[in-house]
Structure 1
Amino acid sequence: MQTDYHPQDVIPGGASAGAFASHPGYRRMFAPNRLTLGIFLPLRFWQGDMGVLQSQGDLVAEIDRLGFAAVWLRDVPLFDPGFGDAGQVFDPFTYMAWLAAQTSRVSLATGSAVFSLRHPIDLAKMATTIDHLSGGRLIMGIASGDRPVEFPAYGIDFENRAVRFAEAVYWFRQLVGQDRPALRGHLGTLQGADMFPKAATGRIPLIMTGSSRQSPDWIAAHADGWLTYPQATHNSEGPKRLAQNLQAWRARIPDRGFRPHMTNEWLDLVEDADFPRTPLRGGFVLRTGRKGLIDLLGEWREAGVNHAALGIQFAERPAAEIIQELAEDVLPLFPSHEGPAPLTARW
């Protein structure tokens, strides 16, 4: 039966942890009352020189070997000098496919795929391909987009991105999980065709970023998890405000089942373990020693955060040195979950 999508419809789509019991990526990252650690890519800020990405793949393989829960890849199609940030530089989907071959356990997460810019057929095809190539390790953080320059370049109305996002989420879930879905809406008409492969374990987690221009009730009903900015991180007041936001979100979830929350911080980890938590760049970057970081992560866990993605691209110390310190002194306090092993296939 063909389904007409209407933006005003509230079609529950979010799933609790039980729906992902066999999903290796989800289970490695998320469990109630626990917090795991991931690393945001790129490991160094791109300033016009591709050389900063040299050997990053080797370090990602080391991140995997050391036992981190996830690596996160940003999705920034076009460089806007007004933002001054080129993001991941590489296309995240192509790069994830390559990283899947370099790693064995670490989850591969988008942070965040811009669902308003691309058609959900293309998104679903790329996602399920990576899902299979990685053995079920794909986690999709998704967003409606915040860089106005990108939308006219795609021929898309920037002000209409909320509607496109909601419809793309619905299409995506039908395409990756249902046989021969029939769909009709603003994004097109699908009738009499199907998309393969389907998700490796039946479903790909969709982690909503911020509001993605949707209502709180929509996020509560549709999100498999929620990714938000952390509030202030240089003292305990930010985690306390974050806890209030998480309590309000979880109270709206229709089945009250567990949905994970993620946050992130750009970190300048200094050698002095006792260096206090100090905000830089107007609070955009946190400079601290490892003791301050451990305190922050503990406060996040107490607030209800289940995964912390740390970006070190603005740090002064070498990336390998920071990763090693995190692995030796921080990761044991916030270990990744064992869960099911990634699916095996000799593609």
Structure 2
Amino acid sequence: MQASLPTGASAHAFATHPGYRRMFAPDALTLGIFLPLRFFEGDMAVLEGQSALLADIDRQGFAAIWARDVPLFDPRFGDAGQVFDPFTYLAFLAARTQRVSLAIGSAIFSLRHPIDLAKAAVTIDQLSGGRLVLGVASGDRPVEFPAYGLEHSTRGARFAQSVAYFRQLIQPGAGPITSPLGQLSDATLLPRPASGAIPLMVTGSSQQSLEWIGTHADGWLTYPGSTQNVMGPRQLAEKIRAWRALIPGGGFRPHMTNEWIDLSEDPDHPRTPMNGGYVLKTGRKGLIALLTEWRDAGVNHAALGVQFSRRPAREVLQELAEEVLPHFPSHESVAPLRAPW
């Protein structure tokens, strides 16, 4: 590779990036919604009407829509993920929405070539007027790696190599690339990002050290830990502080987390772990308290999954929009770029 590898950027690098700026600001927390809105159990009919609800989410003012990247269904995980390919689906949603950020949580960089990842990502970024925020991960489903002809044990090295290659590809005036993943000269990637950059949000450890994440991530997406009381957010705060202490120059980079919720009709229902702690059942008051604790811990964006809620998705989203979102508004300082496609 080139002697000087691209590293994580400061918030200034994304000052004109509509997707980034809608989601992130220091000392503030915004809300996103993870897809799918209903748990997939073998019938595609469960996704009928989802895009209409996502258009509502856009109008209601949520900060982001998150699509998961799960190439293959492993029954041992019991979760088919987003089902649709996230790049294809977000391109579809770019035409159904106007303001909401389009986030992938997270693209498995260890499985695909960075040229294909960059081509798909920059295409969505252009189609949406600069609204793409790209979560990146090394992959947590071992069955996928031999299906791609790859060794699961090499995912950490491939992830770091792919991040470097991706960043070099989308840089203006990038020179030749020499990487274990390929050699590139006398050719460039088109199109370019709509606002000049695409933020890469590292998920979990992605088989890297905390020092590497501090240096190379444009932001960090981690699991929240315990959410039924304040102890989990306090532990999360320590993790965030340790990471931010390793950011070169100490500049702002955002932290994100997520939770699957079963929102009770009773606003006073206590925060109660369900499904072995995988789902949090709570009333809206408990949810607002949790989100406030996360914000105080240094979290800048919370992605909520409602697929396990027992109430209809439309009803849950409406309550979130009316009763929770006003406490954690999206940032409106940078409008999406014109996308006349």
TM norm. shorter chain > 0.5: yes
Question: How far apart, CA to CA, are the structure 2 residues paired with 1:44 and 1:79?
Answer: 16
Gaps of 5+ in 2: none
After TM superposition, the runs of 4+ consecutive aligned structure 1 residues lying more than 6 A away are none
> Are 1:108 and 2:102 matched, yes or no?
yes
Residue aligned with 1:255, SS? helix
Residue of structure 2 equivalent to 1:131: 125
Residue of structure 2 equivalent to 1:302: 296
Q: CA deviation at 1:176?
A: 1.2
Question: How far apart, CA to CA, are the structure 1 residues paired with 2:61 and 2:132?
Answer: 17
Count of matched residue pairs: 341
Question: How far apart, CA to CA, are the structure 2 residues paired with 1:103 and 1:34?
Answer: 24
1:58 to 52, 72, 81: 52
Q: CA contact under 8 A between 1:16 and 1:257: conserved in structure 2?
A: yes
Residue of structure 1 equivalent to 2:230: 236
Amino acid at match of 1:293: L
Question: How far apart, CA to CA, are the structure 2 residues paired with 1:24 and 1:89?
Answer: 27
Q: CA deviation at 1:90?
A: 0.3
Residue of structure 2 equivalent to 1:98: 92
Q: CA contact under 8 A between 1:12 and 1:221: conserved in structure 2?
A: no
* 1:261-305 deviations in Å (ceiling 9; x for gaps): 000000000100000000001111000000000000000000000
> Are 1:345 and 2:339 matched, yes or no?
yes
Amino acid at match of 1:183: I
Question: How far apart, CA to CA, are the structure 1 residues paired with 2:19 and 2:174?
Answer: 26
* 1:128-186 deviations in Å (ceiling 9; x for gaps): 00000000000001100011110011011110011110010011111112324311121
Gaps of 5+ in 1: none
Q: Cα RMSD over matched residues?
A: 1.0
Question: How far apart, CA to CA, are the structure 1 residues paired with 2:333 and 2:50?
Answer: 27
Q: TM-score, normalised by structure 1?
A: 0.97
Q: CA contact under 8 A between 2:6 and 2:168: conserved in structure 1?
A: no
Change (3 A) 1:221 1:180: closer
Amino acid at match of 1:202: G
Q: TM-score, normalised by structure 2?
A: 0.98
Residue of structure 1 equivalent to 2:164: 170
Residue of structure 2 equivalent to 1:78: 72
Q: Percent identity?
A: 67
Question: How far apart, CA to CA, are the structure 2 residues paired with 1:266 and 1:328?
Answer: 19
> Are 1:263 and 2:254 matched, yes or no?
no
Question: How far apart, CA to CA, are the structure 2 residues paired with 1:164 and 1:27?
Answer: 30
Q: CA deviation at 1:12?
A: 5.4
Amino acid at match of 1:79: F
Amino acid at match of 1:113: A
